[in-house]
Amino acid sequence: MPVELTLRKAAEEVERGDLASVLRARQRLIGLVTSFPDRLDLRDRLAAVCRLLGDAAQAGRWSYLSEVRDEAEVAAFERAYRTPLARLGALNWVSGESGAATPTARERLAALQSASNAQLRAELAVADDRDSSWGTNALVLLGLVVVLLCFVVGAVTLVMWVYRWFTG
């Protein structure tokens, strides 16, 4: 279905005003935003429908890159997606800040990308070295050899017992 026809249907459903129609409109708009993630006008329409449904976090999510946005909704979005990396993933923006149509969207995407990079650097800085010492590796290997030896002895014992039981 063409974008304009889908937008018209969504607008008609929102005008009906009943919950089922508004939820259908939201689904249509989510499909459009998924298909055209770089179109800010679709994000704004989806934010308006989420706002109508009373979902402040989602309204903040979809209006995050808009010129005009409600800071309370943005705060709800940031509470729902606590880290910059989670926010960046939730925005589902695929073409980087250079693909944004407005300077405001480019600035916000660049700031979010910068914060995400800082978060990743901080996580990598505090991550401990996962390599174990040679002594630890030797103890683990020794433990595995003991377990394997016990398994082999048990299997041989079971086979001998079954053989004696059948031969009488």
Q: Assess whether 98 and 158 both reside in one domain.
A: no
* CA gap 84, 66 in Å, rounded: 18
Q: Assess whether 85 and 146 both reside in one domain.
A: no
* CA gap 33, 66 in Å, rounded: 14
pLDDT over 90 (residue 150): yes
Residue 128 pLDDT: 61
Residue pair 57/82 in contact (Cβ under 8 Å)? The answer is no
Q: Assess whether 27 and 80 both reside in one domain.
A: yes
- Which is higher by pLDDT, 43 or 98? 43
- Write down the pTM of the prediction: 0.71
Q: Assess whether 117 and 90 both reside in one domain.
A: yes
Which among 92, 91, 74, 84 is positioned nearest to 113, based on CA atoms? 84
Q: Which of 2-16, 21-35, 69-83, 120-134 has the lowest mean pLDDT?
A: 120-134
SS (H, E, C) the chain: CCHHHHHHHHHHHHHHCCHHHHHHHHHHHHHHHHHCCCCHHHHHHHHHHHHHHCCHHHHHHHHCCCCCCCHHHHHHHHHHCCCHHHHHHHHCCCCCHHHCCCHHHHHHHHHHHHHHHHHHHHHHHHCCCCCCCHHHHHHHHHHHHHHHHHHHHHHHHHHHHHHHHHHC
**Could you report the per-residue pLDDT of 126-141, keeping only the tens digit for each?**
766 566 678 888 899 9
Q: Assess whether 61 and 115 both reside in one domain.
A: yes
**Could you report the per-residue pLDDT of 65-87, keeping only the tens digit for each?**
999 899 999 999 999 999 999 99
Q: Assess whether 110 and 137 both reside in one domain.
A: no
Q: Assess whether 134 and 119 both reside in one domain.
A: no
What is the token pair recorded at 134?
């040679």
Residue 168 pLDDT: 73
What average pLDDT does the structure give for the chain? 91
* CA gap 88, 103 in Å, rounded: 18
Domain count of the chain?
2
Domain that holds residue 163: 129-168
> Residue 50's pLDDT band (boundaries 50, 70, 90)?
very high
pLDDT over 70 (residue 104): yes
Residue 133 pLDDT: 78
